[in-house]
Amino acid sequence: MANSTHTGSGKTVVVIDSGWSPTWETAASVVYQHDYADNDGDARNPNADTHGALVTSRILSQAPDVGIIALKVMPDNSTTASGAAIEQALQWVVAHASDHNVVGVNLSLAGGSASSEMTTILSDELASLAAKRVLVSAAAGNAGQNGTATDVSYFAADHNTICVTASTGDGALPGWAQRNPGITDLCADGTDIRLTDLAGRTVTANGSSFAAPTVTAAVALAQQEALALRGSALTQDEFLSLAKQTGTPLGATGYTDLNTQAMLAKIGQLYGAPETPGTGPGAPATTAATILVNAKGTAAAGVNAHFTLLVDGQAVGSATVGSAAKTYAFTTSVSADSAHKVQIRYDNDGFAGGQDRNLFVDSVSVNGHGYAATDAAVTYDKGALDGRDVVKGQSGMWWNGTLVVVADKSLFGTKAPSQAQLAELQAGDLLGHAVSANAASHGIADGAGWTPELLPAFEDAAHGLHAWYDAHDMAA
């Protein structure tokens, strides 16, 4: 989200959970706190990795400038909350939402089994919040029994919550993820979610508890955009309609994975930016950036390689990478006519059971211009992204670190390429990869220059390209 206003600034979300921990980057974001388990004003939890701290950290990783209201409903060293405590917390939100610009509530609290919409002791409060356009994201639960169950948690089954089922983040649903086609509203990545505390220690989390915060963060960003562009917040139905229009269908399951950036772009397209100070004539122009990362990885202990894509240090999206090379697409908005740094941050290097987890980045395409991992404009910053331990670019990322592409300003003109042009560019990018791969299969070194022996490689690649066009309903 480089040079983007999509950070949650000026908006607040409520986390009703086990409290927060100063071990995580949350303290500066907490604008109000209360402990309904012990009935005092301190919602901190002595457990550094308490559930609420991890949930809050996940929200801030997606919406870094959003304010947090931490309402603690579990005693220390407990994973159970009473319905009365949760109801008290929601009653406070109903009474004070307008005082703190609250736009969303996160309920990563699962329990019970509902196969149809139902009411609970929280339904009155949830209806009041929906009327105020404060959207509540509720975790569906993790007792999916290998996908055979068709139920969700009680709170997620309320008509006035957004029921969030966990996905794998790459087009599938884990067997443990509870879902119901008549209740589940959205899916979001809830597997191998990596969070890092202030000491640099990484925790990997799984569950719908960590899918719901992604939706909560998206609510904050969407409401920030809607309020800025049209002057009113989205209703729950409006938010879900936009999320489903712009999300990624999970095969033929009927479920949809959230695509926050695509949803924000849709809001901008629908309502347009008003001419306000700083956005009229003479203001810095912005343009779209479409970034394609061709990558593959090796797994360790059943966990695939994962990377986060940043532009100028701001997270745009992330992907979990399988063993087969695949092109991952990202879009964002950047300042026009300026150079930008595209950064692929590998963040889960590991060795387990005799297996070494690694990430391999073959190439990066920025608005149609391809960069090989070994190009002069590419460097590899090992470890933290701090400008130290920097070496020339390479495909194999053997250690945690960041591949940095300095993309020339000529790629960021004020006129963004059309969707058809982007599709053509992506097809060309795929053709180049196909030629290289097929050349290698014919025993020809990549970059060897044109020889008659390359003809079979081009023919094979052309067949693949025609198939790609057919799959995208385009004429080759």
What is the domain-level CATH number for residue 383? 2.60.60.40
The CATH number that applies at residue 42 is: 3.40.50.200
Q: Which amino acid is at 257?
A: D
Count CB atoms within 10 A of the CB of residue 233.
19
* Domain co-membership, 337 together with 244: no
* Residue 351: per-residue pLDDT: 83
Residues of the chain with pLDDT under 70: 1-5, 147-149, 273-284, 414-476
Q: What is the pLDDT of residue 438?
A: 44
303 DSSP β-pair partners: 300
Residues 222 and 259 both lie in one domain? yes
- Residue ranges making up the domain that contains 460: 419-471
Q: Are residues 199 and 266 in the same domain?
A: yes
Which pLDDT score, from 0 to 100, does residue 448 have?
41
**How far is Cα 85 from Cα 221, in angstroms, rounded to an integer?**
28
Give residue 301's identity as a one-letter amino acid code.
A
Is 438 in the same domain as 357?
A: no
Residue 66 lies in a domain: yes
* Contact (Cβ atoms closer than 8 angstroms) between residue 2 and residue 317: no
Query: pLDDT tens across 44-53, in order?
Result: 999 999 999 9
The pLDDT score that the predictor gives to residue 284 is 60
* Residue 117 falls inside a structural domain: yes
- Examine the domain organization and report whether 83 and 216 are in the same domain: yes
Residue 302 pLDDT = 80
- C-alpha distances (whole Å) from 61 to each of 58, 82, 139, 221 are 5, 29, 18, 12
Q: Using CB atoms within 10 A of its CB, is residue 458 exposed (0-12), middle (13-18) or buried (19+)?
A: middle
So what's the pLDDT on residue 304? 87
Amino acid at 348: N
Q: 186 and 151: one domain?
A: yes
d(CA 2, CA 315): 8
pLDDT computed for residue 473 by the predictor: 40
Count structural domains, the chain.
3
Is 279 within the bounds of a domain?
Answer: no
What are the Cα distances from residue 429, in Å, to 45, 251, 317, 338? Answer: 50, 25, 20, 23
Tens-place pLDDT, residues 302-336:
888 888 898 988 888 888 888 999 988 888 888 88
Instruction: Decide which of 271, 305, 327 is a domain's last residue.
Output: 271
**Is the domain of 294 the same as that of 175?**
no
